[in-house]
Structure 1
Amino acid sequence: MTDQLMTVREVTATLKVGRTKVYDLIRTRELPSLTIGRSRRIPAQAVRAYLASRMDLGGAA
């Protein structure tokens, strides 16, 4: 995760979840994102923050 912006595909690989789950996280604003043209990008820092928050919760869903 050295890039500042990640694609949805990169986030799915990082989080080991499916594309639908990533879009659900975006839709519920658990994972901030931005659009550039027609492309959806997620800041790498947002992915790290999401993981840290899930670790703080003990991985509870």
Structure 2
Amino acid sequence: MEKLLLTVGEGAVVLGVGKSRVYDLMRLRQLRSVKIGRSRRVPVDCLRAYVERIAAEDHEVLP
């Protein structure tokens, strides 16, 4: 079964960035996360949506 929620570290690996960048994205509300107990988890669907959103924004900039 595929994971639905990833740790911040796992999300960072998926995005190819550092954990601090993922925390920044969450703090800036560019990447949604959920809190389970004292832990933060990033829904896989939110990672996909974030990548689609930034890809669309990048595409708008190109001539």
TM-score range for the pair, normalised by the shorter chain length: 0.7 to 0.9
Structure 1: tracts of 5 or more residues without a match: none
Residue type matched to 1:52 in 2? E
Structure 2: tracts of 5 or more residues without a match: none
TM-score, normalised on structure 1? 0.87
TM-score, normalised on structure 2? 0.85
Aligned counterparts of 1:32 and 1:54: Cα–Cα separation in 2 = 14
Q: Percent identity?
A: 42
Which one has the largest radius of gyration? Answer: 2
Aligned counterparts of 2:23 and 2:38: Cα–Cα separation in 1 = 15
Match of 2:48?
Answer: 48
Structure ranking higher in helix proportion: 2
Aligned counterparts of 1:33 and 1:26: Cα–Cα separation in 2 = 7
The alignment of Structure 1 onto Structure 2 pairs a total of residues equal to 59
Flag as ranges the 4+ runs of structure 1 deviating above 4 A: none
